[in-house]
């Protein structure tokens, strides 16, 4: 099936990025969010990110203008039902995602494919709350979406071949690379990445190293472009904790137990860059370790 009109639910960092790459690939994008402020800010955020690509010479100014014209913000979730593909990119909380899909179902065209950008939650379980589990799958973009090459594709137990083949074609159209994962907690990337971050937090919690020494060790000793605690702040500590809880609940294995210090930071509202403070304090402009 040709996908020309796309709906994106969520105008945060991931939703903006997803709208950006689809619009640049020639699709009309209907973008919605429950927050009027986030929805109003979305075109400006997308424009700034497109400007970076123009400055680097990866796209033309004309391509930027055309892409921006294809992004249509709307407060009406029902309008997304008449698109070819709807991608949910809301917060990593299953009740929120389920409520979105249940609200969408009465308005969907018969051919519309549903997708979730979840980084950890069961595709099969989310699909079961819709009227079309055969046309439902996981399309997990990496952050920041315009820059990252990988898209994880995850089919639920009922996802049919036509839907999956369409998803493969979409990823190719976006100029990205698909990695196919099975529907198990956290799939591939976060199954490996988030426990590593959790272990880095344990290393901090147990006093083995400071924030600075842990991040320096992994940047220079493992050649990681970003230390694990800096990366956790970039992802969002609430998202890291949510994924660890999915792993812990899904496998019932103590090796996935979230570090108490990670939980404490989330309880404090120190969620990382988006909150101005996490393992680093960003409020002065120069990141300063908080431990």
Active-site residue, 213 included: no
Active-site residue, 140 included: yes
Query: Given 88, 92, 152, 230, which residue is catalytic?
Result: 152
pLDDT in tens, the chain (291 residues): 789 999 999 999 999 999 999 999 999 999 999 999 999 999 999 999 999 999 999 999 999 999 999 999 999 999 999 999 999 999 889 999 999 999 999 999 999 999 999 999 999 999 999 999 999 999 999 999 999 999 999 999 999 999 999 999 999 999 999 999 999 999 999 999 999 999 999 999 999 999 999 999 999 999 999 999 999 999 999 999 999 999 999 999 999 999 999 999 999 999 999 999 999 999 998 999 999
Query: Given 49, 117, 120, 190, which residue is catalytic?
Result: 190
Query: Given 119, 120, 122, 198, which residue is catalytic?
Result: 119
Contact by Cβ (8 Å): 204, 242: no
Cβ burial, residue 283 (10 Å; 0-12/13-18/19+): exposed
Active-site residue, 190 included: yes
- The total of other beta-carbon atoms located within 10 Å of residue 75's CB is 10
Chain centroid to Cα 144, Å, comes to 9
Active-site residue, 49 included: no
Whole-model pTM: value is 0.90
Can you tell me the distance from the alpha carbon of 197 to that of 203, in angstroms, rounded to the nearest whole number? 10
Residues with Cβ within 8 Å of residue 146, at least 6 apart in sequence: 17, 20, 21, 24, 49, 53
Q: What is the pLDDT of residue 238?
A: 95
Can you tell me the distance from the alpha carbon of 150 to that of 128, in angstroms, rounded to the nearest whole number? 26
Query: Given 16, 140, 198, 230, which residue is catalytic?
Result: 140
Can you tell me the distance from the alpha carbon of 99 to that of 71, in angstroms, rounded to the nearest whole number? 24
Q: What is the pLDDT of residue 1?
A: 78
| CA dihedral angle for residue 119, residue 124, residue 130, residue 135, rounded to 10 degrees | 90
């Amino acid at each position: 099936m040709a996908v020309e009109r796309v709906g994106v639910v969520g105008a945060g960092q991931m939703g903006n990025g997803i709208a950006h790459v689809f619009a640049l690939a020639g699709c009309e994008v209907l973008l919605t969010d429950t927050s009027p402020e986030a929805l109003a800010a979305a075109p400006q955020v997308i424009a700034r990110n497109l400007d970076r690509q123009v400055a680097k010479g990866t796209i033309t100014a004309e391509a930027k203008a055309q892409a921006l014209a294809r992004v249509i913000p709307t407060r009406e979730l029902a309008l997304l039902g008449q698109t070819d593909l709807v991608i949910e990119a809301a917060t990593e909380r299953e009740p929120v995602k389920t409520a979105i899909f249940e609200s969408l179902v009465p308005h969907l065209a018969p051919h519309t494919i549903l997708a979730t950008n979840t980084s950890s939650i069961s595709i099969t379980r989310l699909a079961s709350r819709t009227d079309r589990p055969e046309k439902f799958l996981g399309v997990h973009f990496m952050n920041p979406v315009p820059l990252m090459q990988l898209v994880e594709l995850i089919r639920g137990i009922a996802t049919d071949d036509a839907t999956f083949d369409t998803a493969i074609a979409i990823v190719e159209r976006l100029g990205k690379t698909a990695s196919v994962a099975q529907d198990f907690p956290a799939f591939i990337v976060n199954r490996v990445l988030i426990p590593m971050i959790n272990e880095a937090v344990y290393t901090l919690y147990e006093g083995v190293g400071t924030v600075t020494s842990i991040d320096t060790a992994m940047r220079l000793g493992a050649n990681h472009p970003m230390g694990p605690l800096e990366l956790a702040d970039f992802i969002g500590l609430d998202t890291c904790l949510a994924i660890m809880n999915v792993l812990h609940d899904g496998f019932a294995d103590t090796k996935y137990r979230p570090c108490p210090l990670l939980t404490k930071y989330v309880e404090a509202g120190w969620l990382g860059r988006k909150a101005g403070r996490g393992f680093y304090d960003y409020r002065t402009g120069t990141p300063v370790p908080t431990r």
